[in-house]
């Protein structure tokens, strides 16, 4: 209990909105009625999985789907797949000959969503690589032919590596292309006092997220926009 008798809201609250009712209103009015059947099925299957906290939220999935269509993304990359909710949002948004290089250290979880992605008729757009993303990125960067070839890169994996990812993917994304870093408001913990109650993993990754946010804010190669969607997503548009 805090001194004034008001219990601190635990850091780790699902939505960053201050009102659960408002978030529910967004989901029920705008997201769920428009959610493709396959995404709904994948969301419901994922909800039964013990690590379901990791999934991209339905409102963020809708946002990504719209964003990819707006920028006419065709060649894309995703770091951090889990069961594939954001992957499916991407696969449904890009054209039939579009591509997603999808990386995750865990194939098992990807395979939970894969039958649904196949049924949706978009699995042919996905090249899944099992394993840590960093060595794959190093390999891609080594070959100059890959530079400036990606329209969109979504990063939603190990927060302690985001800076390392940024150093590499900034060369791989096109000038005018977009990088999306997920969880940049990290459960709201970015503004929590150091002594605030926090889950262990939230506390551990918090400093890395703070460091990333500072680095992105001063990086002259990008324009940025930080949105309070999901757990916070920072869009970076490469300008040089
Ligand atoms: C938050 S989840 C991704 C959620 C996903 N985008 C979705 O829509 O459900 C983070 C994922 O990153 C993966 N991951 C963790 N470290 C990784 C690494 N070094 N390289 C690639 N993937 C990694 C985890 O296995 C996990 O599936």
Count of other CB atoms within 10 angstroms of residue 92: 20
Going by pLDDT thresholds of 50, 70 and 90, the confidence category of residue 14 is low
Q: Check pocket membership of 235 for ligand 1, CB cut-off 6 A.
A: no
Q: Check pocket membership of 57 for ligand 1, CB cut-off 6 A.
A: no
**Token pair recorded at residue 231:** 């757990």
Residue spans per domain, the chain: 18-236
Q: Check pocket membership of 86 for ligand 1, CB cut-off 6 A.
A: yes
In this structure, the residue with its CA closest to atom 22 of ligand 1 is 104
In this structure, the residue with its CA closest to atom 5 of ligand 1 is 81
Spatial CA neighbour of 233 closest among 213, 219, 205: 213
Q: 3-state DSSP call for residue 175?
A: strand
In this structure, the residue with its CA closest to atom 6 of ligand 1 is 81
Q: Check pocket membership of 54 for ligand 1, CB cut-off 6 A.
A: yes
The pLDDT of residue 123: 98
Pocket probe for ligand 1: among 49, 63, 82, 102, the residue whose CB has the most ligand atoms within 8 Å is: 82
Domain covering 18-236: architecture: 3-Layer(aba) Sandwich (3.40)
Q: Check pocket membership of 103 for ligand 1, CB cut-off 6 A.
A: yes
Strand order in the sheet with 75-79: 126-130, 99-104, 75-79, 150-155, 173-182, 233-238, 222-227
Distance (Å, whole) CA 102 – CA 90: 11
In this structure, the residue with its CA closest to atom 10 of ligand 1 is 157
Q: What are the tens digits of pLDDT across the range 56-98? A: 999 999 999 999 999 999 999 999 999 999 999 999 999 999 9
Residue 5 above 60 pLDDT? no
User: Rounded to the nearest whole angstrom, what is the distance from the C-alpha of residue 88 to the centroid of ligand 1?
Assistant: 14
The pLDDT of residue 6: 37
In this structure, the residue with its CA closest to atom 14 of ligand 1 is 157
Q: What is the largest CA-CA distance in the chain?
A: 61
Pocket probe for ligand 1: among 46, 60, 158, the residue whose CB has the most ligand atoms within 8 Å is: 158
Q: Check pocket membership of 55 for ligand 1, CB cut-off 6 A.
A: yes
Instruction: Look at strands 99-104 and 75-79 and give their pairing.
Output: parallel
User: Rounded to the nearest whole angstrom, what is the distance from the C-alpha of residue 2 to the centroid of ligand 1?
Assistant: 35
Residue 46 above 70 pLDDT? yes
Cβ(103)–Cβ(136) below 8 Å: yes
Distance (Å, whole) CA 150 – CA 147: 8
Distance (Å, whole) CA 93 – CA 87: 10
Mean pLDDT of the chain: 93
Least confident of 38-47, 155-164, 188-197: 188-197
Q: What are the tens digits of pLDDT across the range 107-136? A: 999 999 999 999 999 999 999 999 999 999
């Amino acid at each position: 209990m805090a001194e004034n008798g008001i219990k601190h809201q635990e850091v780790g609250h699902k939505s960053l909105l201050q009102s659960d009712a408002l978030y529910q209103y967004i989901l029920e009015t705008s997201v769920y009625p428009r959610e493709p059947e396959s995404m709904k099925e994948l969301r419901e299957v994922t909800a039964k999985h013990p690590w379901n906290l990791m999934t991209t939220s339905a409102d963020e999935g809708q946002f990504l789907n719209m964003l990819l269509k707006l920028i006419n993304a065709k060649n894309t990359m995703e770091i951090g797949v889990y069961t594939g909710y954001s992957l499916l949002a991407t696969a449904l948004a890009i054209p039939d000959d579009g591509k997603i290089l999808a990386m995750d250290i865990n194939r098992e979880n990807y395979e939970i969503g894969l039958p649904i992605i196949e049924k949706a008729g978009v699995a042919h757009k996905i090249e899944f690589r099992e394993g840590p993303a960093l060595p794959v990125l190093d390999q891609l960067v080594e070959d100059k032919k890959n530079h400036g070839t990606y329209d969109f890169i979504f990063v939603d994996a190990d927060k302690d590596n985001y800076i390392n990812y940024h150093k590499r993917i900034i060369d791989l994304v096109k000038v005018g292309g977009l990088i999306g870093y997920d969880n940049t408001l990290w459960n709201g913990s970015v503004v929590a006092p150091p002594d605030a109650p926090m889950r262990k993993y939230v506390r551990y990754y918090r400093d890395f997220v703070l460091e990333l946010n500072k680095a992105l804010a001063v990086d002259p190669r990008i324009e940025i926009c930080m949105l309070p969607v999901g757990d916070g997503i920072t869009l970076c548009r490469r300008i040089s």
